[in-house]
Amino acid sequence: MSRPAIPNDQRLIVALDLPSGNEARELVEALGDSVSFYKVGLELFTGADGFAVVDWLSTYGKQVFVDLKFFDVPATVARAVKQLHGRNITFATVHGNDAIMQAAAEVSGDVGILAVTVLTSLDSADMRDLGFDCDIPALVRSRARRALTLGCAGVVASGEEAAVLRTTLGDNGVIVTPGIRPGHHDDDQKRAVTPTQALRDGADYLVVGRPIRDADSPKAAAEQIQAEIRSALAV
């Protein structure tokens, strides 16, 4: 799948990592037209009104990325993906082997399937703790190549791997990069990069949560990142 042409103001995806639909709606309304794309993850989706928030975002004119990292037997994953059809969901994530990725891609319909490579909260030591003694960039490249071959729209990967991934994939597939941090950070994102670095290395979309959500002025923080995106992509 070739990379789509993406308007600069749609490259920022704000993570609605909040416990309730009311809090999510308040943040979206506060951000207004500064953000057009939102991620709904486990915390919000498993609340009382996960689908209600997704549908509200769509009617509010926003793009939606459902980040549930489906990981189950392939048939179950396929049935779960079908539940997302017809809701104007742009992307959804899977986190599994070839059979899981293929099952999701085969029934993706109007939803772009993104394969998670390696979580941005994990480093080499964490991978060894999990029993995987491997080179993270090599693992990311391998999973990305397989994901596109199996029909996925793209991958979720750390900005640290964006450059090598774009070289590996060429002009195929989208790269969605979480763990974006505009400046110094002290949290659980071990492989975070700045918006400028991620974009110049080949990322297509940037997922930003805490730097916007926890800012004194979330809208000002979002506008600052949007300005950095425009600057990074200026020819």
Q: Which amino acid is at 217?
A: S
Q: What confidence score (pLDDT) does residue 188 get?
A: 44
- Whether 115 is covered by a domain: the verdict is yes
99 within some domain: yes
In a domain, 3, yes or no: no
Distance in angstroms (rounded) separating the CA atoms of residues 187 and 179:
10
Would the pLDDT of 140 be above 90?
no
Task: Establish if 154 belongs to a structural domain.
Answer: yes
| 118 in a structural domain | yes
pLDDT of residue 189: 47
pTM confidence score: 0.90
CA distances from 140 to 95, 161, 169 (A): 12, 7, 11
Query: Is residue 1 in some structural domain?
Result: no
Q: Inform me whether the pLDDT recorded for 127 exceeds 70.
A: no
Contact 140, 117 (CB under 8 A): yes
* pLDDT > 70? residue 125: no
The string of pLDDT tens digits covering residues 33-47 is 999 999 999 999 988
pLDDT band of 216, cuts 50, 70, 90? very high
Between 4 and 52, name the one with better pLDDT: 52
Q: What is the pLDDT of residues 88-122, one digit of tens each?
A: 999 999 988 899 999 999 999 999 999 998 655 54
> Confidence class of residue 10 from pLDDT cuts 50, 70 and 90?
very high
d(CA 59, CA 4) in angstroms, rounded, equals: 23
- Show which residues are catalytic: 69
Q: Which two tokens stand for residue 131?
A: 């029993």
Q: Is residue 116 part of a domain?
A: yes
pLDDT for 27: 97
Decide if 2 is inside a domain.
Answer: no
Length of the chain: 235
CATH number at residue 61: 3.20.20.70
Check: CB of residue 173 under 8 Å from CB of residue 1: yes
pLDDT band at 133 (very low <50, low <70, confident <90, very high): low
The parent domain of residue 32 ranges over: 8-231
pLDDT at 166 over 60: yes
Q: What count of other Cβ atoms lies within 10 Å of the Cβ of residue 9?
A: 14
For the stretch 55-64, pLDDT in tens is 999 999 999 9
**How many folded domains does the chain comprise?**
1
